[in-house]
Copies of this chain bind each other. A is one copy, B any other.
Amino acid sequence: MIGRIAILGTGLLGTSAGLALRAAGFKGAIAGWNRSPEEAQTALKMGALDVVEADALQAARESQVVLLCVPIYATLDYMEKLSGVLGPEHLVTDVGSTKLQISQAAARLYNRPDCAAFLPGHPMAGKERGGAVLGDAALFRGAVWLFTDDPECERSPHSAALVRAWREWVVAMGSKTIDLDPARHDELVAWVSHLPQFVATALSALLEEQVGDAPELKDVGGRGLREMTRLGASPYSMWRDIAYTNTEAVQAALHALEQRLAHLRENLRTPELRDEFERANRFRRGQ
C-alpha cells in the first residue's frame, strides 16, 4: 500500500534506509530531499533514491510515507511544517534518538481524525561518522528499532494500515522492533546509548590532552583503546540535540558513573575491586 516514500535528510541514516528498503524488495518510488543538495545527489548515485526533490514539503505531499532523518530539533520543525500540508492519507515517521518531545509533538499535531499519522521511531544503528557516502544497506540488520507510539492514537483504518505497513518494512530491513513508553525510552537510551557516547567523548578528549602530542604512543593502547574511543569521532551536530532533549536523564547517568569511578578509585586495593569486576563480568555474560 506504500507507493512512494519521501526521505527527508539523506545523511547516513536516510541513505541507509533507502538502500535497505531496496535490498528488502521495496518496489515503490523513493524520493529524497536534503538541506545540502550535494548530499542528496550522493544518495541518488548510490542507488538509495529514485529522484532528488528540491522542496521537502512537496516531496512529502506526493508520498504516502515520509521518513524524517534529520537531527531532533529539525525533526520537530518539520513535524510542525508537515502537519499543515499533510492529511490522513499520509504517515510520517522518524529516526530521532530521543522520543519524549517528538512523541508530545506527535500527540499535538498528528494521530487525530483528519490528521496525518505519526509513528515515533528510533533505530539503534549508526556509525561514528555521518554522511550519505557511508550509507549501508545492512546498517539496520540485527539492530533494534524502537517505537514509542501512543496506544491512545485515534487512527483511521487507513492510517493504522500505513503504520502496520511501515513496521513490516522495518522488520524486512532486518531490525527487531521493541515498543516502549516515550519517557521510559529516553531514560533507557540515556543508560545504554547516550552514556557510552559521552564517556567515549570525555575519555577521548582527556587522552587528546594527555598523549595527543605523542602520536606514536596512541598506538600503544591497541584494540581496547580504539574501541573505547571510537565514538569519540561522533559529531557534535547530532549530539547537541540529544544533550538538549534528554538532559536530566543523561546527567543522572553521568553522575552515577562518576560515583562509580570514584568508588573504584578508592578500592583499587580492596576486595571491592573483585566485586566490581564480577558485576561487570555478569553484564557481559548476559549479552
The chain A residues found within 8 Å of chain B, CB to CB, are: 124-126, 128, 143-144, 146, 176, 178, 188-189, 191-193, 195-212, 215-222, 224-236, 239-240, 243-244, 247, 250-251, 254-258, 260-262, 264-265, 268-269, 273-274, 276-287
**A176 CB contacts on chain B under 8 angstroms:** 219
Task: Decide: A192 near B281, CB < 8 A? Known: A261-B202, A265-B251, A268-B244.
Answer: no
**A234 CB contacts on chain B under 8 angstroms:** 277, 280
**Ordered nearest first, which 3 A-B pairs have the shortest CB separation?**
A204-B280, A192-B221, A236-B277
Say which residue of B204, B218, B221, B231 sits within 8 Å of A224 (CB atoms). Answer: B231
- In the assembled complex, the CB of A277 is this many whole angstroms from the nearest CB of chain B, namely 4
**A226 CB contacts on chain B under 8 angstroms:** 287
Cβ of B230 and Cβ of A284 under 8 Å apart? Answer: yes
Cβ of B222 and Cβ of A144 under 8 Å apart? Answer: yes
| C-alpha spacing A243/B277, complex, angstroms | 12
**A285 CB contacts on chain B under 8 angstroms:** 233
Task: Decide: A280 near B221, CB < 8 A? Known: A240-B273, A255-B265, A257-B206.
Answer: no
Say which residue of B128, B240, B251, B269 sits within 8 Å of A244 (CB atoms). Answer: B269
| C-alpha spacing A235/B277, complex, angstroms | 7
| C-alpha spacing A219/B146, complex, angstroms | 11
Between-chain CB contacts (< 8 Å), 17 pairs: A178-B216, A178-B220, A191-B210, A196-B221, A196-B225, A199-B228, A199-B261, A202-B264, A202-B280, A203-B257, A203-B280, A204-B279, A218-B286, A233-B281, A240-B274, A250-B268, A251-B265
